[in-house]
Amino acid sequence: MASRPPSARAPTVRTQKTKQPPSSARRGGEKRSGAGWRLWALGLWLLFMLWLGVGYARLPDVSALRTENPRTTALMAQRAEEVYAAGRKPRVRQTWVSLGAVAPHVVDAVLISEDARFYRHEGVDWTEVKNSLDQSVHEARLGRGASTLTQQLAKNLYLSTDRSLLRKGKELLLARRLEAQLSKQRILALYLNVVEWGPGVYGIEAAAREHFGASARSLSVAQGAMLAAMLPAPRRWLPAQRPETLRTRADVILGRLEREGRISGAQAREARVELSRFFGGPPAPGPEAIARLPVES
């Protein structure tokens, strides 16, 4: 009698459950991870503060600017190098004048255009920074610049026009030092005498004579508005070329001057008539156009 083969048994597959660590152990790991990130953040913050301290200590001494006018600036040196690199000889037009030698409506136009809160901040206008960031987020593009007049002066005197974060950090530190060492009136006077107003043209007196054949004291309201309107792009928006962007900006500045009570309604109307004669054609666009105009460093 044949023996019966043993019955085939299906292989048994044993599933081994992965052991889970106790919940207390998981919480402990998460705490260690969170503590690690906090230590990293604290370390980075301490390094940043150390960098600020060392950077601030190594910044130039600006106290001499209380009584002395700088013979040249970093921006002037940069522009000269650019011209030399292009195979040309640089020209420099600059004449120092006091604030009293500048028509008050011209000073007001510059402040309205570049830093309306100049007398209410200490070098950095955080309100304007917030507004600029809000505009950037809302429009999904870079908004208007938020540099104060003091920051612009710091950049012109000591830095370059590059847009690196390092340069911006130095600019902020220098602006704070300028505000700590100099009066507002002195900062404003320095700015008006060193800011760029066309290729090789620096300062309000040289700008007035270069573009309108007049002194800074005798500039009309319209001419002052045009010079202020040039500042975001002083080598491109030249009055001699009659760019429509310059006219638009000047018209907006006139509107702001009138609203702030810096000029009367009659002065604003007279200035707009002068703008129409200067540029020709129909009136400039409305004030809302100013927010979308391009700028340059």
Q: What is the pLDDT tens value at each position of the chain, 297 positions in all?
A: 444 554 444 444 454 555 555 555 555 555 566 677 878 877 877 776 676 666 666 788 999 999 999 999 999 999 999 999 999 999 999 999 999 999 999 999 999 999 999 999 988 877 766 665 555 455 444 444 568 999 999 999 999 877 777 788 889 999 999 999 999 999 999 999 999 999 999 999 999 999 999 999 999 999 999 999 999 999 999 999 999 999 999 999 999 999 999 999 999 999 999 999 999 966 555 444 444 444 443
Task: Indicate whether 64 belongs to any domain.
Answer: no
Q: Is residue 36 part of a domain?
A: no
pLDDT at 138: 54
Query: What pLDDT score does 6 carry?
Result: 47
Query: Given this model, what pLDDT does residue 50 score?
Result: 73
* pLDDT of res. 125: 75
Q: What CATH number has the domain bearing residue 272?
A: 1.10.3810.10
Q: 121 lies in a domain?
A: yes
Nearest to 122 by CA among 164, 51, 174, 163: 174
Say which residues have a Cβ less than 8 Å from residue 106's Cβ, sequence separation at least 6.
Answer: 204, 216, 219, 223, 224, 227, 228
Give how many domains the chain has, as a whole number: 1
Task: Please check whether residue 115 lies inside any domain of the structure.
Answer: yes
265-279 vs 244-259: helix crossing angle, rounded to 10: 180
28, part of any domain: no
Range of the domain at 196: 92-292
Residue 126, pLDDT score: 72
Q: Is residue 66 part of a domain?
A: no
Is residue 67 within 8 Å of 189, Cβ to Cβ? no
Nearest residue to 190 via CA among 154, 220, 229, 227:
154
Question: Is residue 194 within 8 Å of residue 153, measured between CB atoms?
Answer: yes
Q: Is residue 62 part of a domain?
A: no
Give a yes or no: residue 61 inside a domain. no
pLDDT of residue 30: 57
